[in-house]
């Protein structure tokens, strides 16, 4: 392990940290410089006892995002339509419902503090006002057709939104796309297909300087798509052998935290694909985010549980 070096925030990190400090985290939570070492070896996350299933039928927790002083996450069931609500967890142990009928899976926070949601109920990308629960459309169609079941989200410094669109919750509403794709929503609302060749793309994240888009899929690879002048180029696999890859996030060194659903773990990799650590849980996992008062608590969502693990390093809030 190399000694931590001063970290000069590239544009994407500055935008995310600005949103995190002003809107998602307390002022002391994330500094403009990176501190602490990334995890190494074998670690185990602990269940948060206060977060218990809110439904009698089976389902998943998804899309963790830390906003201001709380963790928000989707809680959806496998019953008809995959009904989903957004729940809120505060570190004092309080758990409440923030948005009752969100229809959401993956969540993110934009620079204005709004909740951006991948909503399978609407087969669209949505934006929610957390205070009122009011929803607005971000993107509803590509080439005249609704999406399959938007799943996970990454937001660039210029406001462009990238998202994955597998078919896992396609039955939530009629219609869909002929491919399972990766999409970009430009700041002006124009939607383009980044890649429509991969079966069920899932976790998505942007590199710290915003010049690389990372996406995993059911092909077992994390693929890196270079971004030039705002346009993603052809990708190359930087990590192979991912099992049931799901959501991802980054720490402030640029390391990738990749959830593996059925193996019940999060694996940590350098941007070059070298494995650093494995974080284990006791149930299937779906997604991961950094939060807490200092931005050094890793939150992991999954099957009927949310886990937490204190780390030495700060990371991104979704």
182, 162 in Cβ contact below 8 A? yes
Sign of CA dihedral 85, 282, 290, 93: positive
Cα–Cα distance between 55 and 48 in angstroms, integer?
Answer: 17
Q: Which residues pair with 97 in a beta bridge?
A: 87
- Token representation of residue 291: 């939060």
Of 265, 235, 90, the residue nearest 162 (C-alpha): 235
CB-based contacts of 278, cutoff 8 Å, min separation 6: 41, 42, 43, 265, 266, 267, 268
Of 192, 174, 171, 175, the residue nearest 183 (C-alpha): 192
Cα–Cα distance between 265 and 98 in angstroms, integer?
Answer: 28
62, 71 in Cβ contact below 8 A? no
Cα–Cα distance between 39 and 19 in angstroms, integer?
Answer: 25
Q: Which residues pair with 61 in a beta bridge?
A: 75
Q: Which residues pair with 235 in a beta bridge?
A: none
Buried-exposed string 97-127: b where 16+ CB fall within 10 A, e elsewhere: ebbeebbbbbbbbbeeebbbbbbbbbbbbbb
Q: Which helix (H) or strand (E) segment is 287 a member of?
A: strand 285-291
- The verdict on whether residue 151 carries a ligand-binding annotation is yes
Which of these is catalytic: 75, 165, 246, 251?
246
- The verdict on whether residue 246 carries a ligand-binding annotation is yes
- Centroid of chain to Cα 55: 23
Would residue 246 show up in a list of annotated catalytic residues for this protein? yes
- The verdict on whether residue 202 carries a ligand-binding annotation is yes
Binding site, by residue number, is 62, 151, 202, 246
Binding site members for substrate: 151
Question: What residues are designated binding site for a divalent metal cation?
Answer: 62, 202, 246
Q: Which of the residues are catalytic? A: 246
């Amino acid at each position: 392990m190399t000694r931590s070096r001063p970290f000069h925030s590239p544009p994407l990190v500055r935008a995310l940290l600005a949103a995190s400090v002003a809107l998602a985290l307390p002022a002391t939570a994330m500094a403009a410089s990176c501190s602490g070492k990334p995890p190494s070896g074998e670690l185990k996350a602990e269940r948060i006892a206060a977060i218990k299933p809110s439904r009698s039928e089976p389902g998943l927790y998804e899309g963790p995002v830390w906003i201001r002083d709380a963790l928000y996450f989707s809680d959806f069931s496998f019953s008809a339509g995959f009904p989903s609500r957004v729940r809120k967890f505060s570190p004092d142990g309080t758990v409440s419902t923030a948005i009752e009928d969100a229809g959401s899976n993956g969540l993110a926070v934009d620079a204005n503090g709004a909740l951006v949601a991948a909503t399978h109920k609407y087969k669209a990308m949505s934006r929610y006002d957390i205070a009122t629960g009011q929803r607005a459309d971000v993107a509803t169609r590509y080439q005249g057709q609704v999406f399959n079941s938007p799943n996970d989200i990454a937001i660039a410094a210029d406001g462009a939104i990238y998202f994955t669109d597998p078919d896992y919750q396609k039955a939530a509403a009629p219609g869909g796309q002929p491919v399972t794709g990766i999409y970009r929503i430009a700041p002006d609302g124009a939607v383009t297909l980044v890649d429509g060749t991969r079966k069920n793309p899932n976790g998505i994240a942007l590199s710290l300087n915003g010049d690389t888009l990372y996406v995993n899929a059911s092909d077992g690879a994390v693929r890196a798509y270079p971004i030039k002048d705002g346009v993603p180029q052809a990708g190359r696999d930087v990590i192979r052998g991912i099992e049931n890859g799901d959501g991802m996030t980054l720490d402030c060194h640029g390391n990738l935290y990749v959830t593996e659903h059925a193996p019940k773990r999060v694996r940590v990799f350098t941007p070059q694909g070298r494995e650093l650590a494995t974080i284990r849980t006791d149930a299937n996992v779906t997604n991961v985010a950094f939060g807490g008062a200092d931005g050094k608590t890793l939150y992991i969502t999954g099957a009927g549980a949310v886990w937490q693990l204190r780390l030495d390093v700060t990371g991104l809030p979704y």
